[in-house]
Structure 1
Amino acid sequence: MTAILGGGISGLSAAYYCLENSKIGSVALYESSKHLGGWIKSITTPSGVIFEKGPRTIRLGNKAAQNTLMLIEKLNLNSKIIPIKWNHPAYSNRLIYANETLHVLPNNVTNLFKIQEPFNRRLISIAWNEVRVPKEINEDESIYSFTERRLGKDVADFLISPLISGICAGNAKEISVKFLMKNGFEYEQKYGSITKGIVLNLMRHLLSNFKTNSHKEKELTTDLINRAKVEKWFAWGLHGGLEQLPIALKNNLNSNSNIKIYKNTPCEQLTFKPGVAELLTNGKVEKYCKVISSISAKSLAPLLEKQHPQLAQEIKTIPFVTVAVVNLRYSENILPLEAFGLLVPPNENLPILGIVFDSSIFKKDSSTVLTVMMGGVWFDKYFGDNPTNEHFLSTAVNQTKSILNMKKDPVEYDVTVLKDCIPQYVVGHYQKVQRIQNYISAHKIPLALCGSSFDGIGLNDVILSAKKAVSHIA
């Protein structure tokens, strides 16, 4: 029997893949709270508008994204998909608020040949200059340092820094370059230049088109994946909110007699013996063959500390940040243009990370729905130890008024604080994860890891990590 720790999207996915695998028998899933689905939560307001507390869309573009679409198809959620295509304003218009002005990021080839604020040069010149930047041999470095060194300070300040704060609520001067620009980093190490690496790999890709697709690639072809390619999806959401995904997983699991789900049941300690994993919960020891942990590194480390202090120490040093989410609805359209939203560079010293234009992404009526994100690595700086919901709300409303240059007040709102919700992949993170995996392997611990703490924070990443964890123990 296999135990799964955590009932977030990764834990639910792990349970699903376990039951799908004939080599794995029955499963027990332990969730410390009463809620399944983790940070994915969709609230319907009295007016019928959906407020998303976590992610609202899932991007396409790689094998992890295709794997998620395969899961969606198996869960019969096809009819609930809301495609966001490449020509949608939410894709083409991305805004940066810098120097007290909203700027549209370059979104076509023509703009690359213009000097477009907040950048101080033609962006096409970046590639030409980057080729001539000397190579530096590094095992890792911050994404800010890498970008500033190779692409320029303006790109680091006005593109990469707000992007990092928007994706993981982190500081680009601390986050590993491998988090977002792994290929670019590897191109420098291998070819001496990002531009050279892109060109050489493009040539290889063009040559490979003359060869027959591998069997593996064919396995990742389904009706839904083909539809997404033909219709040129950029991303997608779900009718009823993204929480429909964990709800569908939960319903699927509940219909299977080979799984037991224990809510409000935290694991208190893990002990491993030859061929047995002992799980202490509610003062009682339960024995399992193997354990899959999808809980955060912050929650996992104390469970291992007594028996494996070295492993626990590595795991506990993965930092997390807290994000405040304020959802706002206005009775009319107040947006300056249709866009995915806006990001605020950290050097603007404003108390928000960005604003998502939900009603632009998913158009329903003439009202405006926004999500304001605050805090992250700067939570204490702007909000201190015990901020109130009223403080978050007033900050969100006032910043929205200032940035969007309007005077309206929201007619509906909701405030949520997501404590320790996003792990920070700081410089050295990937080496740390390798040490963690090496320790588990060397000590033959029947433990597999998945979730956002180790190999990617996106929904596609954590779902694929669950699938890999199941394959690892099968």
Structure 2
Amino acid sequence: MIDVAVVGAGISGLSIAYHLKKAGLEVKVFEKEDAVGGNIQTAYIDGYVCELGPQTILADSKVEEFLKDAGIKPIYANPSSKKRYIYRKGKLVALPLSPVEFLLSPFLSLGGKLRVLKEPFVPRSPKQEESIAEFVRRRFGREFLDYVVAPFVSGVYAGDPEELSVKYAVRKVYELEQKYGSVIKGAIKLKALGPSGKLISFEGGNATLIRKLSESLEVHKENVVLRIRRKDDIFILDTKEGKVTAKAVVVSTPATSTGYLLRDLSWSISEEFDKIYYAPVLVVHVAVKFGVLPEGFGFLVPKKENKRILGVIFSSNLFEGRSPEGKSLITVYIGGATDPEIIEYEDEAIVSVLERELRETVDIRDWDLLKITRWKKGIPQYTVGYGRYLELANSIEMEQPGLFLSGNYLYGVSVADCIRVSHHIAKRVIDFLEVKGRTVV
């Protein structure tokens, strides 16, 4: 009998397990793959450090506190990474970083800028829930949607703003309107213009974070959990290596796997989790042999520009040591919810797209392909009506005391979101076990 079984060794499961072990609980983590980390994977190819999943982490004080507590030292992105571009009409246009730059920048037309400035006077919508596209068109206008928000949605979610919920996908923006009647007024009042936090990674890439967390935990790799049952107040896990009994279970797997694991606890809820859509994403790493990359983080490509590339990150600009001396590394994102079929293309067809679009967007002509990574279930999509999945998660946790759900399909898709929420979930587990008479150190 153990205190807690954690199913899934992605960043959510590992972070929760770290908190629980620190609290003095006996914790075992079960991972069906031979590698931990979920989609946080780093490949080392001919001197290049290639992030196959998330490139960076936007760390606020809570994330930095977690890393310090775990003894994991981050590295910080170069200051020039604040500079980002949008591809528009054949060239890269820098996104403005201040109100003055906004007024002087060519990234929106005069009409588009004037429409944005009207936002504080736009009334709230009578609708209970809107898509991001509906919300932005109403408050900021179509041009701002097409050339700022839609590319941003592609960069974060690989998603379609016509489908994603403003309430659940960008809750902070939604809450600004609800509380202040205006996104701009609320952002100024809270000094919340622009991203908050510092861009970080780790020596050797993001896999270092996963490796350091794993080293302090009992992780059973290649040990798939086949079934979770409950008998009286005890959970029974049927795993590849035998039965495990636990007083509490944290399921931190992707939604489809979670649905499968919950079938013996609630068949109806398990079927619902199977319906959560994950946008497919192609991540392509390219070594640039000649030429200097533009200064900055990278660029996003609006769908209006009729390209298949979603965006490009200038990876070797961000952190030192990501490419050999004198060489550059870029990471290209393709596919997403608006172009899902490209995930099935052969490598040769993907290279053909890259040859054409890298030349057209950033004039890169001489490059070597390092790696193509296919995430067929890449990023969960917080679509309109997504609140029902949060309600279902809450419902089954109430029906099955001692069961806790986590993962980027519930409380935010970013690595930082998963780290932040891990503390709250771990505290709930600890509180549950204390109520059950288990003294936590």
SS of the equivalent of 1:51 reads strand
Alignment of 1:244-323 (within 5 A): 244-253=208-217, 259=218, 261-282=219-240, 284-323=242-281
Once the two structures are TM-superposed, the CA of residue 199 in structure 1 deviates from its matched residue by 5.0
Q: Which one is further off, 178-187 or 424-433?
A: 178-187
Which residue is equivalent to 2:40?
A: 40
Asked if 1:89 is matched to 2:46, the reply is no
After superposition, the C-alpha distances for 1:425-453 in whole angstroms (9 at most, x for unaligned) are: 11122343033213421x13321111211
Amino acid at match of 2:57: I
Q: Distance in 1 between matches of 2:268 and 2:140?
A: 39
Once the two structures are TM-superposed, the CA of residue 198 in structure 1 deviates from its matched residue by 3.8
Q: Distance in 2 between matches of 1:127 and 1:407?
A: 37
Q: Distance in 2 between matches of 1:122 and 1:348?
A: 17
Q: Distance in 2 between matches of 1:374 and 1:268?
A: 33
Q: Distance in 1 between matches of 2:154 and 2:37?
A: 24
- Cα gap change, 1:131/1:366 in structure 2, threshold over 3 Å: closer, same or farther? same
Does the aligned pair in 1 maintain the 2:393–2:405 contact within 8 Å?
no
Q: Distance in 2 between matches of 1:402 and 1:128?
A: 32
After superposition, the C-alpha distances for 1:28-55 in whole angstroms (9 at most, x for unaligned) are: 2110110011111112222x22111112
Alignment of 1:102-141 (within 5 A): 102-114=92-104, 116-121=106-111, 123=113, 125-126=114-115, 128-141=117-130
Which residue is equivalent to 1:185?
A: 174
Once the two structures are TM-superposed, the CA of residue 97 in structure 1 deviates from its matched residue by 1.3
Q: Distance in 2 between matches of 1:83 and 1:189?
A: 34
Q: Distance in 2 between matches of 1:390 and 1:107?
A: 39
Instruction: Return the match for 2:346 from 361, 384, 388.
Output: 388
Which residue is equivalent to 1:152?
A: 141
- Cα gap change, 1:421/1:184 in structure 2, threshold over 3 Å: closer, same or farther? closer
SS of the equivalent of 1:161 reads helix
Q: Distance in 2 between matches of 1:142 and 1:448?
A: 29
Does the aligned pair in 1 maintain the 2:283–2:333 contact within 8 Å?
yes
Q: Distance in 1 between matches of 2:188 and 2:157?
A: 29
Asked if 1:56 is matched to 2:55, the reply is yes
After TM superposition, where is structure 1 displaced by more than 4 Å over at least 4 residues in a row? 199-202
Q: Distance in 1 between matches of 2:122 and 2:372?
A: 46
Does the aligned pair in 2 maintain the 1:358–1:369 contact within 8 Å?
yes
Which sections of structure 2, spanning at least 5 residues, go unmatched? 431-441
- Cα gap change, 1:432/1:263 in structure 2, threshold over 3 Å: closer, same or farther? same
SS of the equivalent of 1:457 reads coil
Q: Distance in 2 between matches of 1:402 and 1:177?
A: 32
**Considering only aligned residues, what root-mean-square deviation do their CA atoms show, in Å?**
2.3
Q: Distance in 2 between matches of 1:16 and 1:464?
A: 13
Q: Distance in 2 between matches of 1:358 and 1:390?
A: 23
Once the two structures are TM-superposed, the CA of residue 74 in structure 1 deviates from its matched residue by 2.8
Alignment of 1:312-461 (within 5 A): 312-335=270-293, 337-364=294-321, 365-383=325-343, 386-410=344-368, 413-441=370-398, 443-461=399-417
Q: Distance in 2 between matches of 1:321 and 1:142?
A: 17
After superposition, the C-alpha distances for 1:230-275 in whole angstroms (9 at most, x for unaligned) are: xx9731221211111011111222xxxxx3x221121122222331
- The percentage of counterpart residues that share the same residue type is 27
Does the aligned pair in 2 maintain the 1:120–1:154 contact within 8 Å?
no
SS of the equivalent of 1:68 reads helix
Instruction: Return the match for 1:236 from 182, 192, 200.
Output: 200
Does the aligned pair in 1 maintain the 2:116–2:139 contact within 8 Å?
no
Q: Distance in 2 between matches of 1:67 and 1:141?
A: 30
Does the aligned pair in 2 maintain the 1:267–1:281 contact within 8 Å?
yes
SS of the equivalent of 1:139 reads coil
Does the aligned pair in 1 maintain the 2:308–2:353 contact within 8 Å?
yes
Which sections of structure 1, spanning at least 5 residues, go unmatched? 206-231, 254-258
- Cα gap change, 1:155/1:128 in structure 2, threshold over 3 Å: closer, same or farther? closer
Once the two structures are TM-superposed, the CA of residue 334 in structure 1 deviates from its matched residue by 3.6
After superposition, the C-alpha distances for 1:315-348 in whole angstroms (9 at most, x for unaligned) are: 222211221111011223342x211111111232
Once the two structures are TM-superposed, the CA of residue 19 in structure 1 deviates from its matched residue by 0.5
Which residue is equivalent to 2:13?
A: 11
After superposition, the C-alpha distances for 1:349-372 in whole angstroms (9 at most, x for unaligned) are: 322211110111124433111001
Does the aligned pair in 2 maintain the 1:326–1:396 contact within 8 Å?
no
The total of aligned residue pairs comes to 422
Q: Distance in 2 between matches of 1:275 and 1:359?
A: 52
SS of the equivalent of 2:404 reads strand
Q: Distance in 1 between matches of 2:11 and 2:132?
A: 28
Does the aligned pair in 2 maintain the 1:137–1:189 contact within 8 Å?
no
After superposition, the C-alpha distances for 1:411-433 in whole angstroms (9 at most, x for unaligned) are: x5111112212111111223430
- Cα gap change, 1:361/1:192 in structure 2, threshold over 3 Å: closer, same or farther? same
After superposition, the C-alpha distances for 1:67-122 in whole angstroms (9 at most, x for unaligned) are: 321232233333xx32226xx2211x211112333221122332222362344436
Amino acid at match of 2:393: I
Q: Distance in 1 between matches of 2:188 and 2:295?
A: 34
Does the aligned pair in 1 maintain the 2:9–2:36 contact within 8 Å?
yes
- Cα gap change, 1:358/1:179 in structure 2, threshold over 3 Å: closer, same or farther? farther
Q: Which one is further off, 450-459 or 132-141?
A: 132-141
- Cα gap change, 1:142/1:244 in structure 2, threshold over 3 Å: closer, same or farther? same
Does the aligned pair in 2 maintain the 1:119–1:158 contact within 8 Å?
no
TM-score by length of 1: 0.83
SS of the equivalent of 1:141 reads coil
